[in-house]
Structure 1
């Protein structure tokens, strides 16, 4: 055993494709802080790992004295499985873990530690200082008993059956105190990998205390920041090495603060000088809309505006300690973002305490009428580290939960002559004192309807026409949803049946029975009985990849049924041409090899300039339009594998409207 060697591991499942494509920034920060602040930082080597095969190969070559693992909902079982095998191979190796996927209640924390005996120590809260202080206590003596006697701030663990649950150490005041792993070159190997997406933060913490979020604890309410100069240096280093076109900014409420505008200017300068990033993935804040819109104005279509409301029902929001902007402000922000050529997104969580079928439908329809381009509809997961996942909340709202396999997060991984079997499961709320399981299923069906008939501007041109006729987007979407069995073509009908089957099939009452299936079942059995992928994203991706023609045709037929006869008589020719225009622009939008050309009697490019907020513009004579992707669009799509699987992975990562074909007069 090499006692002067430390492994830090932020593992991702790879058996069914790389689940987390992001550069392991967190463990990079821990390494940087250790090398800078530990009295042993110059004497001990630290290696970083993300891929299970790399960890297995390296461990067999040079067995380290310390191994640390990240613990998230998507790698919990994988990390602990490798930790268990390491303890079998090297009982004296110190194995530690840290991350947000850890209970809040002391009793539950002690139970968790007893259920995960492979971990000697768990760091709660920010890991950089806690890990370094732990190493400064461990490396001189390598004696766990002596460490606990001395005290380990921010560390939890068991020693001779006794639980140590020391208080979390105070958070650092300034992110510049954590030396950048990018500038130190510690993350270069990950940046250079194809399809690896850089992750960086400009601020850490969240001022809100939402009960469903692991960042809702008061310990995270203080915001700590990185200086703009350091961020700019990091971005320059990243842009010179990465093969990606995307940047993930890990800030929880980007845009709410004046410094965020400076960060936007830094990103814009990088775009202008280095061509990176083409797209910034980040959650924008829900307050300080003027400041957020300044960021949107600077970055334009590379920065989507996100309004994560979760619910618009006042009592539901009170139950989870959530505050939202008003619906009027949502509408205003959406219009302002569109004027700046940005895409707008919102997020909703189904089955929050106090939620009902009617309240959930109302939230979705209000967001539709507010003009949000993409509405992401999630089911409520009970996350360790969140207040919602406590006995008090579960009992008060009579939560009924079921377990499911996290999408693509399972597999068998060879390690030192054995196989580590790992499968991640989630606990989802499927009923409450105010919501039945049948209500839950119908709300999930609405999620599919809104995903393929509203989100991503799939038919926004038609919505704009209906709005000018006094027909609200919500009224149209409700009609499509309620009349779907009658209106659907065969391909969409098959898609809905499969979606509804998988939605029920993925949920298990017995978590241990699900785990046994995942341990013993073959691939086909697991796919059949446990599904194993994000159902909504998958079916949405399939619809956009294969069924755009059917989606558009069904939508236009539904619109014709809603329009007054006299309006339809005057607009029928226009609607037929508009339907053809939409299909050519959006059919198989992920396939850059497809181009189209056809003759039209309406000036659709001019109507695009005002987002179709105009009467139909008739041409004096027919003209030919060309439909094709740009080089920039092809570069964005090049970050994902071709085919339907790439489409499913691209849709949550990109603003899909920005990859629809561009239109030009021939």
Structure 2
């Protein structure tokens, strides 16, 4: 008699109450499914899911033997709600959880035979967490630790040899933990796969076919898995630091498949440190050649290796410069804070070298910062931002510190050590309606620490909005650099704007309305947040006022719109003029004002108004050599670059196709939805025009 085929449903659920909360292909469940399908062939049947309703409908139609759920911070409550529904519909289904919300190695192997000095905070946390998760959620049969491919295939093997799910969960399974009679039962630690090519491509295998048909999700490819670093706010490095990789041929084949089959033309490289291997240069060259010959991908999303090898990153950035900026994430530059979070940035001397290389090759340079890290103060974070500007970065994006399960900062030890206090907020749109109630996955944001008071936190929140508005995409870079030439820093501009709000009404009105809205959306408990969100939805039918990101992006969209950007720029120009006039000497250069006005007019043209009709090129004439000024790192006043005669400059959109595609996609959308989509999709270097000489063979460019 032929053995019954094992039916398996794998899901990494995204919220969909108010738009899909994640717009990417769920790479993890695809890899797990492909590995198992390759191992067991026709003995198993696998389907992948992104949405709750699709999964439940499938279970109702054909109850599976196994349901595997990807369990993360962004779908925590949704996943726990889903497993209860799975159990109600199909009592005999084996329910398995894996993902970054699960401890990396499991308590058996992180507490035994490890001296207290070597034991990591997450190791101490593991046993308590594993037990609490399984004990409080009886519907969970098994949890999978770390990379899921091998442990999940071990579960399938046990299922094939067992009569029912209870028999499966009553025995130790390598890479997994279960709860039996109130006691944790764990298998041996599974060594991670070093050759990722043993995992067939889930794309080419056809596992994503249903998702491609129904949703235009951004495909992701993973050439290298793992991170050699141990940042305490992050879960990617954790306890598995060894890099594992696919072959270059494997990744090329996947990308070619996506070119022909993916409805979404954006491509994301999922590596946490792309460029860490020499062969990544060849992959970058392959992508560039493919883009030039076919237009695919239309744009690219990557995280470059943060500490080198620098030559690899330089070559890759030069190859891909029209598709994305060269990003060097700092998170902070404060030495004490870097030590606290176990992070090492590249030396400042190397940063300067990389920035100079980028600008000499017409490449935009960006960085990312996190406010509120342990040891950071209000003033030290302001100083960090100022330093990034003086380092001549073209884009500075800022995020606030929030805690994620599995990260060291999430543990009780870290919270106590740094005095971390938190509130709950809805940063994005992690809401799903299930029957008559809303399931919400709130973000736990650090609002106080040993160094930051609650008032400091709100001050940083407003300051971060200032950073986004003027420097998130370098909207006002030329104005800011002009001011720095006269010892007026962006911190001076911010203080002037805030201290005299009546003089600068547009910025203060938009920033104050943002802060007034946001301040009321942070709650002491998840339950308070969920109740408030539910009431607002019943009243307004949407979550617009509750999503912090949407509120920020809506206002950034207004700032950059053709209707309002002249008002935004005017406030900055007036604030700079006021500071200069208060500090100037009578014998000082009197060209400050005229150049400031010229740069204000330039900014109006440089800022690309989101999702409006965009001309690929605008030609303007100026009396100053903007190109050489930028090449000299803005070290001298622009007045020293006066031209003998007026010169024409071309203000160009770097990637016009990206704007056209997004404009077509968002037709008919409301402003808030359009702006939220724009600022989460377009790369910073493509939010403003690049400046170049016209009728010059070298086509020198500044960002």
Partners of 1:525 and 1:142 in 2: CA distance: 51
Which stretch of structure 1 is more off in the superposition, 615-624 or 9-18?
Answer: 615-624
2:682 aligned residue: 654
1:86-112 CA deviation, whole Å, 9 max, x = no partner? Answer: 211211111111100235421122112
Taking a change above 3 Å as real, the CA distance of residues 137 and 523 of structure 1, as seen in their structure-2 partners, is: same
Partners of 1:619 and 1:14 in 2: CA distance: 59
Partners of 1:194 and 1:605 in 2: CA distance: 44
Whether 2:560 is the aligned partner of 1:544: answer yes
2:445 aligned residue: 428
1:515 aligned residue: 530
SS of the counterpart of 2:398?
A: strand
SS of the counterpart of 2:55?
A: helix
What is the CA distance between 1:251 and its match in structure 2? 0.6
Answer whether contact 1:598 1:624 (CA < 8 A) is retained: yes
What is the CA distance between 1:135 and its match in structure 2? 0.8
What is the CA distance between 1:659 and its match in structure 2? 4.1
2:260 to 217, 227, 240: 240
1:312 aligned residue: 333
Q: TM-score, normalised by structure 2?
A: 0.85
Which stretch of structure 1 is more off in the superposition, 16-25 or 148-157?
Answer: 148-157
What is the CA distance between 1:65 and its match in structure 2? 2.2
2:114 aligned residue: none
Partners of 1:241 and 1:321 in 2: CA distance: 42
What is the CA distance between 1:16 and its match in structure 2? 0.9
1:461 to 475, 478, 502: 478
1:371 aligned residue: 392
1:501-552 CA deviation, whole Å, 9 max, x = no partner? Answer: 2332222112233234445653447978981342544543443346422221
Which stretch of structure 1 is more off in the superposition, 206-215 or 191-200?
Answer: 191-200
1:585-606 CA deviation, whole Å, 9 max, x = no partner? Answer: 3252431257997874547786
Whether 2:602 is the aligned partner of 1:577: answer no
Taking a change above 3 Å as real, the CA distance of residues 163 and 255 of structure 1, as seen in their structure-2 partners, is: same
Q: Within 5 Å, which residues of 2 pair with 1:157-556?
A: 157-191=178-212, 195-218=216-239, 220-288=240-308, 289-413=310-434, 418=435, 421-467=438-484, 469-471=485-487, 475-486=489-500, 489-518=504-533, 522-524=537-539, 531-534=546-549, 535-545=551-561, 547-556=564-573
SS of the counterpart of 2:253?
A: helix
Which stretch of structure 1 is more off in the superposition, 378-387 or 48-57?
Answer: 48-57
Which stretch of structure 1 is more off in the superposition, 604-613 or 69-78?
Answer: 604-613
Which stretch of structure 1 is more off in the superposition, 268-277 or 235-244?
Answer: 268-277
1:634 aligned residue: 659
Taking a change above 3 Å as real, the CA distance of residues 427 and 388 of structure 1, as seen in their structure-2 partners, is: same
2:16 aligned residue: 14
Equivalences, count = 655
Whether 2:134 is the aligned partner of 1:117: answer no
1:324-360 CA deviation, whole Å, 9 max, x = no partner? Answer: 1223322322222222333322222222222221222
Answer whether contact 1:317 1:323 (CA < 8 A) is retained: yes
Taking a change above 3 Å as real, the CA distance of residues 619 and 552 of structure 1, as seen in their structure-2 partners, is: farther
1:297-348 CA deviation, whole Å, 9 max, x = no partner? Answer: 1212323222222221211111121111223322322222222333322222
Whether 2:73 is the aligned partner of 1:73: answer yes
Partners of 1:521 and 1:590 in 2: CA distance: 28
2:102 aligned residue: 102
Partners of 1:180 and 1:622 in 2: CA distance: 53
Answer whether contact 2:272 2:303 (CA < 8 A) is retained: yes
What is the CA distance between 1:269 and its match in structure 2? 2.4
Taking a change above 3 Å as real, the CA distance of residues 5 and 421 of structure 1, as seen in their structure-2 partners, is: farther
Q: CA RMSD in A?
A: 3.1
Answer whether contact 2:7 2:64 (CA < 8 A) is retained: yes
1:133 aligned residue: 154
SS of the counterpart of 1:506?
A: coil
1:401-458 CA deviation, whole Å, 9 max, x = no partner? Answer: 1112241111214xxxx55742101221111122111111111111011111222110
2:119 aligned residue: none
SS of the counterpart of 1:102?
A: coil
2:6 aligned residue: 4
SS of the counterpart of 2:431?
A: strand
Partners of 1:328 and 1:560 in 2: CA distance: 33
1:611-665 CA deviation, whole Å, 9 max, x = no partner? Answer: 9956455574697988889742434534852544233223233223324357797
SS of the counterpart of 2:304?
A: coil
Partners of 2:353 and 2:538 in 1: CA distance: 49
